[in-house]
């Protein structure tokens, strides 16, 4: 699929602004961003449910910008299951086949193939009212899978499920993609879903693509402060700092309130654009897991004694908050850590995982 310079506006309001992206066959592409960023509108434009204002759209090398949804060779799975309550699971799955006049033998073969794939063979004679939420979502997926289209479109399909069921359904969807090598575009506001499912992620904000990359690229090398803050749970720590060039790299100074000494970190391999800086203001970014009491032995670390402001045990990890003049910084400690609020503790800052952003543009250095 190829989208080129796509825009969508309602009256004078521009919703999608010059969207361009290319998706090779077999990719799992996730559109992610906060509510109102335009991700569902973009999916709707690709599916043909919403007309585009300008630009071009091709699926499998065929221009589909002016074709109705039925002619685009796509299948959609929505947040709402949209099952026919009067039809059995078998007939719900086969509905698209029946519309296309598929013969009965091919119809039954296709239903059984998809039902086995989704582990719902034992449910084929039931009505939707007799199914759980997860089972209904499987049926909705089966109705899409039975068609074998060029492109699958998923619009927040797991939003109505509880946390445990969302986890298991993510696993099922990922397994299906690996088995079928299907081309999938998946919309979600949940960055955990995006990270676990995608081969590539498209991060959107206010109708504009902020960054496209693999989950690892998006997480480790965010293009700007918005991406850094949005992707991650907890989010990347972003705090104003001053940097000064030294013969061995860069000193980062983060001011602390009251009589506490400022936090001074040293980066031996900073970005080239910051190497000659003299007292330059930056947004300093570091993930919670890069500040820890679990000594890694990494040769690119900075050790500091820090005062813990808040301590939050979660079982597998303990999150502690450090207080600074420009805001808080969250650290990820060992789950069995017995540190308490108000205690000073030695922490390791992994400087190989640090990001720097321009305080004016918020773009990565």
Q: Which residue has the tokens 């204002």?
A: 53
Q: Report d(CA 345, CA 343) in Å as an integer.
A: 6
Fold held by 237-357: OB fold (Dihydrolipoamide Acetyltransferase, E2P) (2.40.50)
Position 159 scores a pLDDT of 81
Position 230 scores a pLDDT of 95
Task: Write the burial class of residue 98 (CB in 10 Å: 0-12 exposed, 13-18 middle, 19+ buried).
Answer: exposed
Residues of the chain with CATH 3.40.50.300: 2-230
Position 31 scores a pLDDT of 97
| Below-70 pLDDT ranges, the chain | 277, 297
Helix (H, G, I), strand (E, B) or coil at 191: helix
Q: What is the DSSP letter of 364?
A: B
Number of H helices, E strands in the chain: 9, 21
Position 200 scores a pLDDT of 97
Contact between residue 231 and residue 242 where contact means Cβ atoms under 8 Å apart: no
Could you tell me which residues come within 8 angstroms of residue 95 by beta carbon, excluding any fewer than 6 positions away? 84, 87, 143
Sign of CA dihedral 51, 53, 59, 62: positive
Position 124 scores a pLDDT of 95
Fold held by 2-230: Rossmann fold (3.40.50)
Residues of the chain with CATH 2.40.50.140: 237-357
């Amino acid at each position: 699929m190829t989208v080129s310079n796509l825009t969508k506006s309602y009256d004078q309001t521009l919703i999608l602004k010059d969207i361009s992206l290319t998706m090779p066959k077999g990719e799992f592409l996730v559109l992610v961003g906060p509510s109102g960023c335009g991700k569902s509108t973009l999916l709707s434009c690709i599916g043909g449910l919403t007309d585009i204002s300008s630009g071009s759209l091709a699926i499998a090398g065929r221009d589909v910008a002016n074709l109705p949804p039925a002619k685009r060779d796509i299948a959609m799975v929505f947040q709402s299951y949209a099952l026919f309550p009067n039809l059995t699971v078998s007939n719900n799955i086969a509905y698209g086949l029946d519309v296309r006049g598929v013969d009965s033998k091919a119809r039954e073969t296709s239903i059984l193939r998809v039902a086995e794939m989704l582990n719902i063979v034992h449910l084929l004679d039931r009505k939707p009212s007799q199914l759980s939420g997860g089972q209904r979502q499987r049926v909705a997926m089966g109705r899409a899978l039975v068609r074998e289209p060029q492109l699958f479109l998923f619009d927040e399909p797991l939003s109505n499920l509880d946390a445990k069921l969302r986890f298991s359904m993510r696993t099922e969807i990922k397994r299906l993609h690996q088995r079928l090598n299907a081309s999938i575009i998946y919309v979600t506001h949940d960055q955990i879903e995006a990270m676990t499912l995608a081969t590539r992620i498209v991060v959107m904000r206010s109708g504009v693509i902020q960054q496209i990359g693999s989950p690892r690229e998006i997480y480790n090398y965010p293009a700007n402060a918005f991406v850094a803050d949005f992707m991650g749970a907890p989010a990347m720590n972003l705090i104003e700092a001053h940097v000064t060039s030294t013969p061995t790299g860069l000193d980062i100074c983060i001011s602390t309130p009251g009589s506490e000494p400022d936090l001074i970190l040293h980066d031996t391999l900073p970005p080239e654009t910051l190497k000659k800086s003299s007292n330059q203001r930056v947004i300093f970014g570091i993930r919670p897991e890069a500040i820890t009491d679990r000594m890694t032995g990494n040769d690119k670390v900075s050790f500091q004694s820090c005062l813990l402001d808040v301590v939050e045990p979660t079982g597998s990890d303990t999150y502690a908050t450090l207080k600074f003049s420009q805001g808080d910084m969250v650290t990820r400690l060992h789950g069995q850590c017995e540190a308490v609020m108000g205690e000073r503790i030695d922490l390791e800052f992994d400087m190989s995982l640090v990001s720097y952003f321009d305080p004016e543009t918020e773009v990565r250095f």
